Amino acid sequence: MSKTIRKYERPDYDAIRALLHIASIHFRLAFGLTATRPKVHYLGQFSWGHHVAHYEELALTREDEKRAFAALEDSATYVSAVQVHTALKSVHDDPFHIREADVASAFQISRLIRNAFAHNPFNPVWDVRDPWKNRRFVVPDVIMLDTAGLDGVPVRRQDYGGPIAILRLIDYADKVVQARAEEGPA
């Protein structure tokens, strides 16, 4: 499904939107598991090729499950930010000079979240370079990120508005891609 988009080609808007949908369902599943922490049933044994793992190797303690659910949501946040960033980048010739302020903010927020998770996904830290320090990126009723004082600080859900803001960001990116598709060829 993945394809490199060249500048002179019309993006495959349907494929971009399909990938955003996968990001959305992935995030919703991860969030649902984190929020509800269901009882997990482990296999007694599993084999793949010549490898075999037994229950003792596969099962987690309830405390480890709690950590794993939280890490799953963090991973889903990262994957969602990457997919939003990729989608918005693929439908703009120069994503660092997007004319629409809301779209530019969505692009920068997704890029900053992506960068924070990229080098240490289970302990993400904001990496805010000078051009983006002390700036406020806002997509009204979707997501907001104020970068003042964030550089080098561990990421907290509150920094970007939490899990619902991530879902809204995915949906917003999908609407941007849909609008670009409806504009037709340049």
Q: What is the mean pLDDT of the chain?
A: 93
- Evaluate whether residue 2 is within a structural domain: no
CB–CB of 145/159 below 8 Å? yes
Distance from the first to the final alpha carbon of the chain? 24
Question: Tokens standing for 23?
Answer: 């990001």
- Number of domains present in the structure of the chain: 1
| Strand partners of residue 52 | 47
- Evaluate whether residue 3 is within a structural domain: no
Q: Does the pLDDT of residue 186 top 60, yes or no? A: no
Q: Does the pLDDT of residue 90 top 90, yes or no? A: yes
- Evaluate whether residue 140 is within a structural domain: yes
Q: How many CB atoms lie within 10 A of CB 153?
A: 12
- Evaluate whether residue 118 is within a structural domain: yes
- Evaluate whether residue 1 is within a structural domain: no
Cα gap 118→99, rounded to integer Å: 27
Question: Tokens standing for 148?
Answer: 């003042």
Domain enclosing residue 129, as ranges: 13-183
Predicted confidence (pLDDT) per residue in 3-37, tens digit: 554 555 788 999 999 999 999 999 999 999 999 99
- Evaluate whether residue 4 is within a structural domain: no
Q: What is the mean pLDDT of residues 73-83?
A: 97
Q: How many CB atoms lie within 10 A of CB 9?
A: 9
Model pLDDT, residue 9: 74
Q: Which of 25-34, 78-87, 140-149, 177-186 has the lowest mean pLDDT?
A: 177-186
Q: Does the pLDDT of residue 148 top 60, yes or no? A: yes
Distances (CA, A) of 157 to 36, 71, 112, 144, 166: 18, 13, 13, 11, 10
Q: Does the pLDDT of residue 94 top 90, yes or no? A: no
- Evaluate whether residue 107 is within a structural domain: yes
Q: At what angle do helices 101-118 and 163-183 cross, to 10 degrees?
A: 130
Q: Which of 9-13, 35-39, 122-126, 128-132 has the lowest mean pLDDT?
A: 9-13
CB–CB of 126/155 below 8 Å? yes
- Evaluate whether residue 5 is within a structural domain: no
Left, alpha or beta for 136 (phi > 0: left; psi -120 to 50: alpha)?
beta
Distances (CA, A) of 151 to 11, 101, 143: 34, 23, 19
What percent of the chain stands above pLDDT 90? 86
